[in-house]
């Protein structure tokens, strides 16, 4: 008992803002505080390269040159874009990082309760097609085929950053850690007392911190995407930040949240966005392909847990 306490006391944690969200890193080794700083620097670097807002980011450069020329981008950005494109293929276009013009148009949580006209939606939708992303791996450059096209890595970059944080902490000898980058949880090892990590699954219709259940996991990532994070309701319709590239509108189905559990946070992040759009039935091949498990929560608070997770999930 004493030993357990002494080990728990070695916890050291940091909260920081990056990637447009609040992030949290907790490790269990006082001597390794440096590792947290290195991880935070890396997240900041990823944010600077992959932000859709920062004017000197790779994404901003790409959109400024859209329809005109190839642009050299950093290897990290290049590889993540390539991964996102693979994901688009695998999800039949449900996940599509050329979604940016639609994200701008809707401006969920930025323009109040603004619903664009059908004409505006169709205009933006014409610019959404991941097959217009051109990649040249020789020169590490990319281009967007048509003027006005732009990328948005908001559905995958937090996962990538979480994988990078884990890599850096592990390289620095950390054996036990809990990381949460704006809802992308990744863990290292087990808790210092040897028990699995406990990750609460948020009740989507209750205040933050109210859980529908708890997942016990070791060395896994848990990523949740919800339609109650950024949204507004107008004329009884719930408009939120996950957009369906087929309709140009926020996905309309009975899902309130989707959680993906696997080993790679980049995969889990892209998966949650895709699963949200595809719904539970059509998601199964994707889950199998990525050896991932999932939890689906619908608006009547029905919780569907895939087989591999049942043992690890407690209501």
- Specify the residue, 168 or 251, whose C-beta has the smaller distance to ligand ADP: 251
99 binds ligand ADP per the rule CB under 6 A: yes
Q: Please tell me the distance from the alpha carbon of residue 179 to that of residue 215, in angstroms, as a whole number.
A: 15
Q: Which does 245 bind (CB under 5 to 8 A by kind): Mg ion, ligand ADP, none?
A: ligand ADP
Q: Please tell me the distance from the alpha carbon of residue 252 to that of residue 275, in angstroms, as a whole number.
A: 13
259 binds ligand ADP per the rule CB under 6 A: no
**Residue of this chain nearest to ligand ADP (CB atom):** 154
As a whole number of angstroms, the longest Cα–Cα distance in the chain is 67
Q: Which does 243 bind (CB under 5 to 8 A by kind): ligand ADP, Mg ion, none?
A: ligand ADP
Given 227, 273, 283, 306, the residue binding ligand ADP (CB under 6 A): 273
204 binds ligand ADP per the rule CB under 6 A: no
**Residue of this chain nearest to Mg ion (CB atom):** 273
Cβ at position 153, least distance to ligand ADP in Å: 8
One DSSP character per residue, 115-170 reads ---HHHHHHHHTT--GGGEEEETTTTEEEESSTT-----TTTHHHHHHHHHHHHHH
Given 51, 272, 283, 306, the residue binding Mg ion (CB under 5 A): 272
| Distance, CA of 138 to chain centre | 28
**Judged by CB under 6 A, which stretch of 69-77, 93-101, 214-222, 260-268 contacts ligand ADP?**
93-101
One DSSP character per residue, 41-73 reads HHHHHHHHHH-SSSTTSHHHHHHHTTTT--EE-
Take residue 192 and report the two structure tokens written for it.
Answer: 């210092």
**Judged by CB under 5 A, which stretch of 88-96, 207-215, 264-272, 307-315 contacts Mg ion?**
264-272
Other CB atoms within a 10 A radius of the CB of residue 85 amount to 18
- Specify the residue, 143 or 258, whose C-beta has the smaller distance to ligand ADP: 258
Q: Residue 274 region, left (φ>0) first, then alpha (ψ -120 to 50), else beta?
A: alpha
Chain residues in the site for Mg ion (CB under 5 A) = 155, 269, 272-273
Residues binding ligand ADP (CB under 6 A): 95-97, 99, 103, 152, 154-155, 158, 183, 225, 229, 241-243, 245, 269, 272-273, 277
């Amino acid at each position: 008992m004493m030993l357990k306490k002494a080990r728990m006391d070695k916890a050291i944690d940091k909260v920081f803002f990056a990637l447009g969200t609040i992030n949290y890193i907790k490790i269990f080794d006082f001597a390794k505080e440096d590792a947290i700083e290195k991880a935070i620097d890396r997240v900041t670097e990823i944010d600077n390269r992959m932000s859709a807002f920062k004017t000197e980011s790779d994404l901003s450069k790409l959109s400024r040159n859209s329809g005109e020329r190839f642009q050299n981008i950093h290897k990290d950005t290049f590889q993540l874009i390539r991964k996102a494109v693979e994901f688009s293929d695998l999800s039949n276009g449900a996940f599509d990082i050329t979604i940016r013009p639609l994200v701008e148009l809707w401006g969920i949580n930025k323009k109040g309760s603004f619903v664009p006209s059908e004409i505006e939606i169709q205009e933006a939708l014409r610019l959404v097609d991941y097959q217009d992303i051109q990649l040249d791996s020789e020169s590490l450059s990319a281009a967007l085929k048509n003027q006005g096209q732009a990328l948005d890595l908001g559905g995958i970059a937090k996962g990538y950053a979480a994988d990078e944080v884990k890599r850096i902490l592990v390289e620095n000898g950390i054996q036990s850690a809990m990381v949460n980058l704006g809802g992308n949880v990744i863990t290292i090892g087990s808790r210092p007392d040897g028990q699995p990590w406990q990750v609460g699954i948020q009740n989507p219709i209750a205040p933050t911190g109210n859980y529908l259940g708890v997942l016990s996991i070791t060395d896994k990532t848990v990523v949740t995407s919800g339609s109650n994070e950024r949204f507004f309701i107008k004329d009884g319709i719930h408009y939120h930040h996950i957009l369906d590239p087929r309709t140009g509108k926020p996905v309309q189905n009975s899902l309130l949240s989707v959680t993906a559990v696997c080993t790679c946070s980049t995969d889990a992040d892209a998966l949650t966005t895709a699963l949200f759009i595809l719904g539970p039935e059509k998601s199964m091949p994707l889950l199998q392909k990525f050896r991932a498990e999932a939890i689906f929560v619908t608006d009547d608070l029905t919780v569907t847990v895939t087989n591999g997770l049942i043992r690890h999930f407690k209501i």
